[in-house]
Amino acid sequence: MALGHAPVFIQMTQTESKKGVVRLAVFLGLIAVGLYFGFMWLAANGML
Amino acid sequence: MSTATTHDEHHHGPDKGIMRWVFTTNHKDIGTLYLLFALLMFFVGGSMAMVIRLELFQPGLQFVNPQFFNSMTTMHALIMIFGAVMPAFVGLANWLIPIMLGAPDMALPRMNNWSFWILPFAFTMLLSTLFMDGGAPAGGWTMYPPLVLQTGDAFPFLIFSIHLMGISSIMGAINVIVTIVNMRAPGMTLMKMPLFVWTWLITAYLLIAVMPVLAGAVTMLLTDRFFDTSFFNAAGGGDPVMFQHIFWFFGHPEVYILILPAFGIVSQIIPTFARKPLFGYSSMVYATASIAFLSFIVWAHHMFTVGMPLTGELFFMYATMLIAVPTGVKVFNWVSTMWKGSMTFETPMLFAIGFVIMFSIGGFSGLMLAIAPVDFQYHDTYFVVAHFHYVLVTGAIFAIMAAAYYWLPKWTGNMYNESVGKWHFWLSTISVNVLFFPQHFLGLAGMPRRIPDYSVQFTEFNQISSIGGFVFGLSQLLMVYIVVSSIRGGEKATDRVWEGATGLEFEQLPSPPPYHTFETAPVIK
């Protein structure tokens, strides 16, 4: 399936919703970004 | 019009030519790309290991200078960890998780494409450092400051390539979690999921928790080098030991990222060839979760010798020993699954049994290293090298080989050559022990790791080890033959492939499965 005409989200035949997929993905992404900046912030402020 | 309806109207097979692979959003294609990339990196990293073993064949400097030797150890580790083992597991996840759960694809297919295609750029950048002024990174894969800050032009390339690998891993992990949480077929409850899926779910959480920490650590190295910060510079009020704490807070869970999916693979294969259900399924799930939790509270056992308070040493020592409990649960469950089973010994089962035995050897030497006063003797010796190669080669890589043999007929529709597979197993198993077992003795006798030259009393064991290394390296070419010949043709595989195989991929899909699978959700009883 070429990227140009692939759906952004795969066909949803299961019990979930697209909104649920996006929310969970964004939430996990924010955790990752938070950990990245969080650890550097703690180190910069002498808390590690 | 919903996305689903649009998709149905454009149902088609793969594109033709190279663009199929560049633009693919199909989980099977992306899984194949990951696996082939991992195989390529396995040989690139392996060739560096051959340089190391060649130089160590006898004392004195023979073939390479010490700087290049240190580059080889550093690059070998980075490539094998981030380029071979992790992408191989992500490739297996891509291929297997949707078809094990009855999902049509991964939840975020475009991000999946992006996750993979970042990797060739990351590793091209990393490998390009071999040709730069000052040479490739040579401060060890752990990148401890201040040594790593002496790296030449390669330094920013090293840091950026690690950032790219981290971004790729995090996106892959998000995709795995979202797929497992949202895309299971109706009736596929969490406790009905195949154990490979469970181990990957837990691994994905570990990845999201620790890859950003590594990224933060290397970003701080970058700012220390180029922007006059002093995170790890004692002269500026910083602390080089803090880097070690941050690195190993990433590094120890990383060890479990490299082994938990292997546990999942072995838990799929042993029941098939023992023709019995997995013994203690739920205890396997809880043991995996326990290992993941404990992996966050043991990091300082990698740095017992830096000078910690006694309380700290004791805490990390006991916490580390505690990991033996859930790991033991797993080993006993695998043995119990085999107990009184109607066992046969096809190549995947041989690799799985080899995994159980030799991973346990690595586990036991890990227990020895967990004992703080003992570690004072073993630290930075070849004993440590022997330990983690038993865990990662006869552990992680043997499990990946087992998985390749187990699912290759399903993926290609063709059986591989069983006698070549068995030759591959026995040559690998004998040579890998010749390679790594003598390194225990070298370490106990005091040979330090990461040195190109050594005292003459270490010569014999080093020669034995190098011979084992060359045979092990050459035997892996059989794997390439197996993969290529299986893709090109051979005896047709049945849909179930193995007599005792269970799971959606064997019970409901043909071999090979069609390009799109489970567009209508299967019924899970």
Round the average pLDDT of chain B to a whole number and report it: 95
**Alpha-carbon distances of B213 from B149, B319, B504, rounded to whole Å:** 19, 21, 37
Identify each DSSP E strand in B29-83 by its residue range.
none
Chain B residues in contact with A43 by the CB 8 A cut-off are 216, 220, 231, 242, 246
Residue pair B117/B522 in contact by the 8 Å Cβ criterion:
no
Task: Identify the three-state secondary structure at position B360.
Answer: helix
Q: What pLDDT does residue B524 have?
A: 86
Residue B414 has pLDDT above 60, yes or no: yes
Once rounded to an integer, what is the mean pLDDT over residues B500-509?
96
Chain B residues in contact with A12 by the CB 8 A cut-off are 3-4
Once rounded to an integer, what is the mean pLDDT over residues A2-20?
52
Q: In this structure, which amino acid lies at residue B53? A: R
Closest chain A C-alpha to B319 CA, distance in angstroms: 21
Per residue in B177-223, pLDDT tens? Answer: 999 998 899 889 999 999 999 999 999 999 999 999 999 999 999 99
Residue B138 has pLDDT above 90, yes or no: yes
Q: Which of B13, B1, B498, B24 is nearest to B268 (CA)?
A: B498
Task: Identify the three-state secondary structure at position B492.
Answer: strand
Q: What pLDDT does residue B260 have?
A: 98
Distance separating alpha carbons of residues B195 and A24, to the nearest angstrom = 22
Q: A41 touching B, CB under 8 A?
A: no
Q: What pLDDT does residue B11 have?
A: 53
Chain A residues in contact with B520 by the CB 8 A cut-off are 13
Q: A47 touching B, CB under 8 A?
A: no
Give residue A13's pLDDT band: very low, low, confident or very high (50, 70, 90). Answer: very low
Closest chain A C-alpha to B195 CA, distance in angstroms: 21
Once rounded to an integer, what is the mean pLDDT over residues B120-145?
96
Q: Do B24 and A14 touch (CB under 8 A)?
A: no
Q: Do B212 and A29 touch (CB under 8 A)?
A: no
**Alpha-carbon distances of B156 from B128, B159, B211, B225, B348, rounded to whole Å:** 12, 5, 18, 9, 41
Helix boundaries (H) for B129-194 = 154-182
Closest chain A C-alpha to B25 CA, distance in angstroms: 6
Radius of gyration of chain B from Cα atoms? Answer: 23
Q: What pLDDT does residue B519 have?
A: 83
Query: For residue B151, is it left (φ>0), alpha (ψ between -120 and 50) or beta?
Result: beta
In A, minimum Cα distance to B101 occurs at: A14
Distance separating alpha carbons of residues B98 and A22, to the nearest angstrom = 18
> Has the ipTM of the complex gone over 0.85?
yes
Q: What pLDDT does residue B439 have?
A: 98
> Which pair of structure tokens corresponds to residue B136?
């490739």
Q: Which helix (H) or strand (E) holds B278?
A: none
Chain A residues in contact with B215 by the CB 8 A cut-off are 36
Give residue B6's pLDDT band: very low, low, confident or very high (50, 70, 90). Answer: very low
Per residue in B9-38, pLDDT tens? Answer: 455 678 888 999 999 999 999 999 999 999
β-pair partners for B414: B492
Cα-to-chain-centroid distance, residue B99: 22
Give residue B165's pLDDT band: very low, low, confident or very high (50, 70, 90). Answer: very high
